[in-house]
Amino acid sequence: MSVITFSRNVFLPLTNVCANACGYCSFKTPVKEGCVMSKEEVMATLKRGAEFSCTEALFTFGERPEREEGFTRYISEAGYTDILSYCMDMSRYAISLGLLPHTNAGILTYEELEMLRKVNASMGLMLETTAEVPAHEYSPGKNPAVRIEMIENAGKLKIPFTTGLLLGIGETRDDRIDSLEVIRDLYKKYGHIQEVIVQNFCPKEGTDMAAFPGASTEVIADTLMLANEILPKDVSIQIPPNLADASTLLGLGVTDLGGVSPVTIDYINPEHPWPALEALKDIARGYEVKERLCIYEKYCNAEWVAPELMGLVSRLAKRVYG
C-alpha cells in the first residue's frame, strides 16, 4: 500500500506585518497595537501543542517587518531587537517542550540562515514562480532571483528545506515547468529539498486579486503530473488538504499532506480549516497514512542537524520513524 505522510504541527504567526504587498495576500496587517504575538500567547500555544503530541512548531511572520514604519516600537516592547531574535528565543522554548522548530520567514541572508539553523530542524520558502507577475509588483522579496538565491544558500548550509509553487497568480504552464526545473536543479546540486508544495492560490475578499479565479482543478492536476515527471523521486510532493480536494489528486504523485494542526488554524488561509487528523484517513482512503517530522528521516543525522537539536531529533525520529 502506498504511503501518504503528514506532520502534526502548531502554527505560530509571530507577526502579520510584512514589507511585501502581494496582490493576493490577506495575511499582511498594518503596524498597530497587538501586531506582535505576545510571548505569553506563543508559550501557551506551544505548551498546548506539546499536550496534543505535536512534533513541529511552525513559526511564520511577514518578511522584514522592521522595514515597516513603527514596527520597531512593538518588537522592542516585546523585549527583542528584531523578529529573528524573537523567533530564535521561542524556537529554543519549543525545543525545551519537545517540539522541532520549522521557520518560514521570507527572504533571509546567508548569515541569518546560518543563525536560525542552530535552532531549526528545517526551514522553508515558497519559490512560488520564476515568472515576473503583476501580483508581485510591490513585493521586492518575491523577486525570483532573490528567492532562488536563498534556497541555494540553504543548500550550502545543509538546511533540510521545503519550497513550492503557488498556482493561479498569473504564471503560465511554461513558467510552472521552469519553476519545477529550477527546484530540481537546486536539489541535484545540494540535496536539501525535502518536499515541494503544489499550492493553489485562493482568492480572498479585500485583496487586489479577489476577483481572480485561482487555479482550476485541471491546472492543479497538470502541475502535479509535471512535478512527478520533473522532480527526483526522493523529493516529496505535497498538496495542502484544506485548499484542494486532495482525495481526487493523490493518485497523481502526491506523497504528503503537509502540516496539519490539532491546535491552531491555518493563519494564511483562515477561511479554509484544516481537516481533523482522523479525517486524513478518509481523504487518503486506499493509502497508508503515516505521521512524519518536519525533518524527513534521511536528514536526521549530524550532517544536517545542528548540535543543539540533535538529541531531540534523534528521540523523535526513533519514535516516529522507528
Q: Tens of pLDDT along 147-174?
A: 999 999 999 999 999 999 999 999 999 9
Residue at grid coordinates 503583476 = 134
Does 37 score more than 70 pLDDT?
Answer: yes
Considering the segment(s) 5-320 as one domain, its CATH architecture is: Alpha-Beta Barrel (3.20)
- Sketch the domain layout of the chain as residue ranges: 5-320
Report the percentage of the chain scoring pLDDT > 70.
Answer: 96
What phi, psi does 5 have (nearest 5°)? -110, 165
Question: Region 285-307: what's the mean pLDDT?
Answer: 96
CB 165 within 8 A of CB 201: no
Has residue 255 got a pLDDT over 70? yes
| pLDDT greater at residue 266 or residue 165 | 165
Q: How far is CA 6 from CA 38, 163, 274, 277, 284, in A?
A: 28, 16, 12, 9, 11
Please answer whether residues 20 and 32 qualify as being in contact, where contact means their C-beta atoms are separated by less than 8 angstroms: no
Helix (H), strand (E) at residue 244: none
pTM over 0.75, yes/no: yes
R_g of the chain, CA atoms, integer Å: 18
